[in-house]
Amino acid sequence: MNFVTHLECANCGLQYDALLVHNLCTVCQRPMWVKYDLEAIRRAFPKAKLAGRPPTLWRYLELLPVRDPAKIVSLTETVSPILETSRLGATLGARRLYIKDESRLPTGSFKSRGMAMAITKANEFGIKKVAVPTAGNAGGALAAYAARAGMAAYVFMPEDTPVINQKECYLAGAKTFLVNGLITDCGRIVGEGRKTKGWFDVSTLKEPYRIEGKKTMGLELAEQFDWELPDAILYPTGGGTGLIGMWKAFAELAALGWLKSDRRPKMFACQSEGCAPIATAFARGERFAPKFEPAVTIASGIRVPAAVGDFMILDAVRASGGEALATPEADIPKWMKLAASQEGIALCPETAVCLGALEVLLQRGVLHPEERILIFNTGAAQKYPEAVHEQLPRLDIGQPINWAEI
């Protein structure tokens, strides 16, 4: 049973028919929310019904926009684990530090969640062509799920996007193009091609359903923490769909009465100083973020100089009592190595900025050592070989080994 009532513009509040295909609000060109009859869900779907359901994001089907389960496009999006990190936490000064590892998902990043939902809805609507601008992982996820659904996929990415992301799009059969610009330039191309090529634009927050897939991160962590949310969540932020989606999930869970208390986590949007539009707008007290130039960071997934959902990110951060902040670009490899060497967790460069942010927040007293702090590892470090430049020592088998150097 589907409980969606309508779509609603997150900016102007205009309502739309959820049975029709939509991108942005036609009046103000801003993103739309999926709205549910939460009272009907509360009556029909007690959380006890979760018992015995498969450990995938589809276990929350009543809280998702799927109308026809037969149209679901899935690669088995598993519930990602939450790992306690005592050694890493001790180094940073946080006694209860956790990492939710999204690299376990089918395409190696949290983008699997959003694209599984977006392509499922496209499949329901009978859409045959989809297109996306990407800084990396979103393109690979779109390509994989479009292939799974038998759809044609078009991917446009900056020419310096990690090579692995380029190749995974190609291998999945997507028509993949490198653009001598940023993700915003790729987005312009996708928008301009809608009429000519007839594809559906699956850009971040330019359709209503990727956010519903990302929302499942919040549903999962609530269940994993036995319905008592952590004190703080640090999230690497580019387009911000995951942060916005989690904040929506927490509100829906509260309305259903599933949470043990009304306390919500403080949400921290973490960026690199190389591309920090949200952090800049937060510091200035602004609701909308001017385009950030020049946008330069090895954390390609958060190299988003202008986010269409900027106000949604900033609204959620402020409502939670959190912050948006940026940390030094040069420290990213250091944080990646620290997490891997102390805990064996291969953090992507986007998540590395969260460790820098956590250090700052603890030093400033914004966060406290005893609080439960959760960081999202949004992708696998193995997809970013360009982010690590360390040269390893070589041994010459024709020469005696100098054991003092080993």
pLDDT in tens, 132-141: 999 889 999 9
Domain ranges for the chain: 82-106+212-383
Class of domain 82-106+212-383: alpha beta
pLDDT < 50: residue spans in the chain: none
Q: What is the DSSP string of 157-206?
A: EETTS-HHHHHHHHHTT-EEEEESS-HHHHHHHHHHHHHHH--EE--TTS
Q: What angle do CA 386, 191, 77 make, to 5 degrees?
A: 55
Instruction: Residue 229: name the closest of 257, 270, 255, 262 by CA.
Output: 262
Q: Which residues have a Cβ under 8 Å from the Cβ of 81 and sit 6 or more positions away?
A: 100, 101, 104
Rounded distance, CA 187 to CA 86, Å? 41
Query: Model's pTM, two decimal places?
Result: 0.95
pLDDT at residue 388, rounded to an integer: 85
Instruction: Residue 354: name the closest of 324, 387, 319 by CA.
Output: 324
Rounded distance, CA 57 to CA 252, Å? 16
Residue-wise pLDDT for 173-190, tens only, equals 999 999 999 999 999 999
C-beta of residue 109 within 8 angstroms of C-beta of residue 383:
yes
Q: Please tell me whether the peptide bond between 277 and the residue prior to it is cis, using omega within 30 degrees of 0.
A: no
pLDDT at residue 136, rounded to an integer: 86
